[in-house]
Amino acid sequence: MKQKSLKKFSNFQNSRINPKGYHPSQLKFYVMLLPLIIIMLLPIIFIFSHAFKPLDELFAYPPRFFVINPTFKNFTDLFSKMSGSGIPVSRYLFNSIVITIVTVAASIVVSSTAAYALSKKKFKLKKVLFSINTVALMFVPIAVTIPRFLIIERLNLMDTFLVHVLPGLAMPVGLFLIKQFIDGIPDDVVEAARIDGASDWRIYYAIILPMIKPAIATIAILTFQATWNNAEISTMYINDESLKTFAFYLTTLTSTASGANAVAGQGISAAASLITFLPNLIIFILLQSQVMSTMSHSGLK
């Protein structure tokens, strides 16, 4: 029974996601989507173009979208300013890499286990807890800045490594997406595993996780972007310079350069923006097919 249910779900998944082949009737969709694709690519093209603009093009009027005489001077200025900092840049980069990896892994575990419980387990207040998570989707991060600061202060997490990780685990959109994805898994699969004597941990690890890889990839991207680009935590909760992140370092570096020399600071800021953006672009390109599968399944029951 379990094998039939797994095969049935797999066939359903393959039939709905990423269809193979091409038919002339699809041409109208390309005609409609191509202008949207071009518009959506413009910000990415601008980030790359802006980073290689010389100073005269950065301040040209009217502003130019594409670079005419590309230069690496913005990057050489950025790297030379990095080399003159008190703490090695490698320390900030190491902090960001470790914090991002730990936060992404922990967020996946927390979101997936909670989603499995809310989707396939029966207990009191199940609907209430999911409703609270849904309501939390409406709050933007700035709306909870003060409550978050008070909680972190009372938990004595100021100037600690955990202050970078724990706030990132509360990810309502991650729980929502994974829960909706698990809802699409037939209950027969879980019941068959229970009849065979599998524990909840075994069901979660051996059955649920392999089936929700697209959702996990989506949460990994969202968590990575939120963590890698986060300079707020280092600004508000960290006083020890050795615990601060690469995003914070680039932010302060560009702001300092802009304050000392507003003209040169614009070039450094443009180069720093591209360096910060590249990891987000790379991880999205690698996992974008999984993201599309998650979005397609998030509304299925």
| Domains of the chain by start residue, with CATH | 88-265 (1.10.3720.10)
How confident is the model at residue 12, as a pLDDT?
46
Single-letter amino acid code for the residue at 238 = I
Q: How far is CA 93 from CA 78, 103, 234, 250, 253, in A?
A: 15, 15, 13, 10, 14
Q: Along the 301 residues of the chain, how does pLDDT read in single tens digits? A: 445 555 554 554 454 444 556 667 778 778 888 888 888 888 889 889 888 888 888 887 888 888 888 888 888 888 777 766 667 778 888 899 999 999 999 999 999 999 998 888 888 888 898 888 888 888 887 888 888 889 888 988 888 888 999 888 888 888 888 888 888 888 888 888 888 888 888 888 888 888 888 888 888 888 998 899 888 888 888 888 888 888 888 888 766 655 555 666 777 888 888 888 888 888 888 877 666 655 555 544 4
With a threshold of 0.95, does the pTM exceed it?
no
